[in-house]
Structure 1
Amino acid sequence: MKKLLKIMLIALCTIVTVLVVFVASVYVVNLISNEREQGKIEDYGQKVMVDGKQMNVLIQGDGKETIVLLPGYGTASPVLDFKPLVDELSPYYRVVVIEPFGYGLSDDTDKVRTSQNIVNEIHECLQKLNIKKYTMMGHSISGIYGLEYVNQYEKEVQAFVGIDSSFPKQETDELPVSSLQLLNQSGFYRLLLKVNPDQLVMPKVDDQTKAQIKMLTFRNFMDESQASEADNFRNNFKNAQRLHFPKKLPVVFYLADQTEKETPNWKPMHEELLKNVDHGKVVTFKGGHYLHHTRSKEIAADFKGFLSEIESNR
Structure 2
Amino acid sequence: MKRISQLLFKIMMTIITLILLFIATVYTVNLVSSHSEQKRLERYGQQVSVDGKQMNVFMHGEGKETIVLLPGFGTASPVLDFKPLISELSPYYRVVVIEPFGYGLSDQTDKERSSTHITNEIHSALQSLGIDRYMLMAHSISGLYSLDYVNRYRHEVQAFIGLDHSVPTLSEQKVEKSDIMPIQWFRNLGFARVQLKLTADPYEGLPYDEKSKEQLNILIRKNMYNNTQLNEAVSMYSNFQAAKQLTWPADLPVLLFVQKNHPVVHEWVTEHKRQIQHSEYGKIVLLEANHYLYRSHSLEIATKIKEFAGSRL
TM-score, structure 1 length as denominator?
0.94
Offset at 1:105?
0.2
- Cα pair 1:84 1:296 within 8 Å, conserved: yes
Secondary structure, in 3 states, of the residue corresponding to 1:105?
coil
The equivalent of 1:305 in structure 2 is 307
Offset at 1:207?
2.1
Offset at 1:15?
1.5
Offset at 1:179?
2.1
The equivalent of 1:272 in structure 2 is 274
Distance 1:307 1:9 in 2: 72
Secondary structure, in 3 states, of the residue corresponding to 2:40?
coil
Secondary structure, in 3 states, of the residue corresponding to 2:248?
coil
Partner of residue 185 from structure 2, selected from 158, 164, 182:
182
Which range is displaced more, 126-135 or 187-196?
187-196
Distance 1:131 1:59 in 2: 11
Deviations 1:151-203 (A, max 9, x none): 00101000000000000111312454222222111111101211334368895
- Cα pair 1:193 1:199 within 8 Å, conserved: no
- Indicate the RMSD between aligned Cα atoms, in angstroms: 1.6
- Cα pair 2:192 2:224 within 8 Å, conserved: no
Distance 2:205 2:28 in 1: 27
Deviations 1:219-241 (A, max 9, x none): 21222211111110011011011
Unaligned runs of 5+ in 2: none
- Cα pair 2:260 2:269 within 8 Å, conserved: no
Distance 2:25 2:203 in 1: 23
Q: Which amino acid aligns with 1:85?
A: L
The equivalent of 2:229 in structure 1 is 226
Q: What is the number of equivalent residue pairs in this alignment?
A: 310
Distance 2:145 2:163 in 1: 13
The equivalent of 2:12 in structure 1 is 12
Distance 1:61 1:114 in 2: 31
The equivalent of 1:63 in structure 2 is 63
Partner of residue 256 from structure 1, selected from 255, 259, 266:
259
- Cα pair 1:159 1:249 within 8 Å, conserved: yes
Q: Which amino acid aligns with 1:276?
A: H
Unaligned runs of 5+ in 1: none
The equivalent of 1:170 in structure 2 is 170
- In structure 2, the CA distance between the partners of 1:98 and 1:301, relative to structure 1 (3 Å rule), is same
The equivalent of 1:125 in structure 2 is 125
- Cα pair 2:101 2:108 within 8 Å, conserved: yes
Secondary structure, in 3 states, of the residue corresponding to 2:116?
helix
TM-score, structure 2 length as denominator?
0.95
Distance 1:35 1:11 in 2: 36
Distance 1:89 1:174 in 2: 36
Offset at 1:308?
1.8
Query: Which structure 2 residues correspond to residues 1-314 of structure 1 after superposition, within 5 A?
Result: 1-175=1-175, 176-198=179-201, 204-259=207-262, 261-311=263-313
